[in-house]
């Protein structure tokens, strides 16, 4: 029995059942939101994922999850990312320990859930760059719960401002979602220029 209006109860029950039965997995990594784009940072332990996320938070972006990310397929076929409940709102920074993000940076620095738009896999420089895309024309994807998510492989090297690289990658992904692909637009311009030169 319930005191709720039937319609309200049915809506709440439907949402609850969807949450309980949705396919989900846990993956290691750090999930952030950058200007509305959900980005999952992957890489071996100690490569700097949490430090990049911390720098992004200081720039006004938001943390979704650190260390372990829960990925769930919702009823619309979208992959949503969230934190494990026990570690929500916390981060581990090597050499510093555990921090509580909202207490340090405010409540706007956290997101409970965010759609997964982009995966960035970080690897130490020198580990082989055969699969590193230098032009952006050879788009890579990873299948997550039946959904193809854009994947970028970013080499990590001393002196690289990876926070800025991740931020630009997210903005570039947002442009692609709006229909602007810089790499393909430049490729088309080069093809037109070469065709004109050959016709002269």
Asked if residues 65 and 88 have their Cβ atoms less than 8 Å apart, the reply is yes
Burial class of residue 78 (count of CB atoms within 10 Å of its CB; 0-12, 13-18, 19+): middle
DSSP for 64-112 reads EESSEEEEEE-TTS-EEEEE-GGGTTEEEETTTEEEEHHHHH-GGGB-S
CB count within 10 Å of CB 4 equals 12
CB count within 10 Å of CB 69 equals 22
Task: Going residue by residue through the chain, which has 200 residues, state the pLDDT in tens, using 9 for 90 and above.
Answer: 888 888 888 887 776 777 776 788 999 999 999 999 999 999 998 888 999 999 999 999 999 999 999 999 987 889 999 999 999 999 998 888 999 999 999 999 999 999 999 999 998 875 555 556 666 667 889 999 999 999 999 988 877 889 999 999 999 999 888 887 777 777 788 778 877 777 66
- For position 135, what pLDDT does the model report? 65
Using the structure block, give the residue that is written with the tokens 């260390």. 67
Asked if residues 27 and 103 have their Cβ atoms less than 8 Å apart, the reply is no
Per-residue tokens: 103: 């207490």
Q: How many Å apart are CA 119 and CA 140, to the nearest integer? A: 10
> Which stretches of the chain are DSSP H helices?
6-21, 49-58, 101-105, 162-177, 182-199
- For position 65, what pLDDT does the model report? 95
- For position 182, what pLDDT does the model report? 76
* Distance set, CA 44 to CA 84, 104, 141 (Å): 20, 27, 19
Q: Which residues contact 60 (CB under 8 A, 6 or more apart)?
A: none
- For position 133, what pLDDT does the model report? 65
- For position 127, what pLDDT does the model report? 53
- For position 111, what pLDDT does the model report? 94
Q: How many Å apart are CA 103 and CA 140, to the nearest integer? A: 38
Closest CA to 51 of 127, 122, 114: 122
- For position 64, what pLDDT does the model report? 96
């Amino acid at each position: 029995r319930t005191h709720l209006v039937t319609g309200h109860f049915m809506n709440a029950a439907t949402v609850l059942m969807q949450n309980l039965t949705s396919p989900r997995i846990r993956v290691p990594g750090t999930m952030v939101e950058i200007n509305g784009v959900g980005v999952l940072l992957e890489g071996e332990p100690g490569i700097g994922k949490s430090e990049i996320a911390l720098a992004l938070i200081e720039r006004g972006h938001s943390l979704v999850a650190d260390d372990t990310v829960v990925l769930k397929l919702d009823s619309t076929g979208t992959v949503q990312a969230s934190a494990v409940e026990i570690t929500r709102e916390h981060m581990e920074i090597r050499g510093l320990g555990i921090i509580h993000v909202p207490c340090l940076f405010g409540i706007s620095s956290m997101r409970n859930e965010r759609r997964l738009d982009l995966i960035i896999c970080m690897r130490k420089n020198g580990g082989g760059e055969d699969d590193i895309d230098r032009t952006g024309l050879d788009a890579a994807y990873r299948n997550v719960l039946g959904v193809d998510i854009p994947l970028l492989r970013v080499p990590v090297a001393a002196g690289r401002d990876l926070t800025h690289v991740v931020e630009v990658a997210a903005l570039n992904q947002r442009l692609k979602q709006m229909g602007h692909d810089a790499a393909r637009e430049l490729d088309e311009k080069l093809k037109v220029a070469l065709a004109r030169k050959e016709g002269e």
